[in-house]
Structure 1
Amino acid sequence: MSTNDQDLCLVFIPALVTLLYKAEKDKGSPLTENEVIKIRDSATCMAVQFSAALEMEEKRGYPDIVAEEAWSEWQAARKELFGEQQP
């Protein structure tokens, strides 16, 4: 898949990974797939040009989760954020 500057992508404000991290910390146990999807679906996002999204990610210093792959990407991210232990 090739992307050009005119392609749009969704950018969560704040980053979806931070919303999920906070929700899991507050819950005190792993989020379910339904919880992740509910958080994703209610999160604020905007469509921006691909180049702007890359610039925002670079300034933020870490990648966000892709909306369409929220559950699987959150599973990978949480292993990095929490290790194998519970929050």
Structure 2
Amino acid sequence: MTAAGWMVTVGIIKDDNSVGHIVYAVALADPTEAIGAALRSCSGEAAAINHELSKTQLQDLGLNAGEVLAIYDDKTDPITSGTLRH
């Protein structure tokens, strides 16, 4: 699969000085450009590429070339948003 876009995680410093993250879907084929676009979308301090996205996946998200969409953050991410107890 040739990447049409990327999932990018951006590390942020919140107003209370705690660390958080936002994951973006970025409709740019170049990973370096995708990181830059994600960082410009927030007050990000660092970013990492998570996974490539196909043209079909970007269309499913309603993204056009060059657009950036916040998918989830540390408040909505099921991995970090809270602990489940059984």
TM-score calculated relative to the size of structure 2: 0.28
Higher strand content, 1 or 2: 2
Structure that is richer in helix per residue:
1
TM-score for both structures, normalised by structure 1: 0.28
